[in-house]
Amino acid sequence: MAKRVRSEAGYARKLKDAVHLLFFQHHRLPGIRGWELRQELGPDWLNVLEVLDKQLQSMDLQVTRVLDDPNITDPDQAQLADARFYITMRGGIEQKTAKTIGWRVDDIAGLAVAIAFIISKQGKVPRTDVEKLLQEKLPGWRVKMSIDRYIQQGYLGEDDKGVLFLDWRSRAEVDQKQLIDLIVGFGKKADAEEAAKPEEEDA
């Protein structure tokens, strides 16, 4: 019995340590590497993260893992040790909430278009192409400023040849598949309903 109590206390302490490691910024960039978590939490660090993730669920938060190679679907221990772990919001946020955290609707839409466009082009697009696309709906001066901001905040990266790619923050925060599905699926439901209307009226 005493052993069990001791073990539970040990696990609770590890959960507390995991919260400290994941919530507070320790490095220049947020998040913490898997090997650092293993070093602090011990060999069962992945189980500790799983328990923490379940506990965070009620607060609309989650433990997010970002692998160095985004194409890996089933990582091994070494790849998990190199992965970066973050706490992110579990659900999406509303436009009015986004405004309160300093994002204009134009900025959000610009970032969404840039990310979607880069994904559709296999992750690499010349900056001029993204600027051209954004300039169709946003003023030119704002486009340049917005792209610089996305780069500065870590959502986009730019190499020395002026080619944009998705940087660490997009990989940590954006559900790329959901974003693409939502954009491609936009209006389909409404179109289907529209198509169904005359038939109903005829009936």
Partner 1 sequence: MSSRRKRDELEGVISLCRAVQAGSVEPFAVDIDYMLEVIRRYYPATNSFQDFCTDAAAIRGLSNVLQSQNDWIQHQSTTLYKDPFLLNQQIHRMDISAIADSFLRSWHPLVQMEQLSAKTLMGSLGYWTDLIPLAERWKDPNLQLIEAGTASMDEARALGILPEEGFADVIETFWNELEERVGKGGRIDYWDWIGADTYEETIKRSYITVFLVGYGYANIESDRFGDKIEIIRNTEPHPDPGQAKISIPTLVDYEEWKLWRKG
DSSP 141-161: HHHHHHHHHHHHTTSEEE-TT
DSSP 1-19: -HHHHHHHHHHHHHHHHHH
CA atoms within a 13 Å half-sphere pointing along the CA-CB vector of 17: 15
> Min. distance of Cβ 74 from partner 1 in angstroms?
15
Nearer to partner 1, 78 or 186 (CB): 186
Binding-site ranges for partner 1 (CB under 8 A): 23-25, 30-31, 61-62, 64, 86-95, 98, 101, 105-106, 108-109, 111-113, 115-117, 119-122, 124-126, 129, 133, 136-137, 161, 163, 169, 172-180, 182-184, 186-187
Nearer to partner 1, 4 or 189 (CB): 189
> Min. distance of Cβ 58 from partner 1 in angstroms?
14
Nearer to partner 1, 2 or 25 (CB): 25
> Min. distance of Cβ 80 from partner 1 in angstroms?
20
d(CA 120, CA 129): 13
Nearer to partner 1, 101 or 195 (CB): 101
Q: Which residues pair with 33 in a beta bridge?
A: 84
d(CA 153, CA 174): 14
> Min. distance of Cβ 194 from partner 1 in angstroms?
14
Degrees (nearest 5) of the Cα angle 9, 30, 19?
A: 10
d(CA 137, CA 53): 40
> Min. distance of Cβ 173 from partner 1 in angstroms?
5
> Min. distance of Cβ 5 from partner 1 in angstroms?
29
Nearer to partner 1, 12 or 105 (CB): 105
CA 199 from chain centre, in angstroms, equals: 42
Nearer to partner 1, 45 or 86 (CB): 86
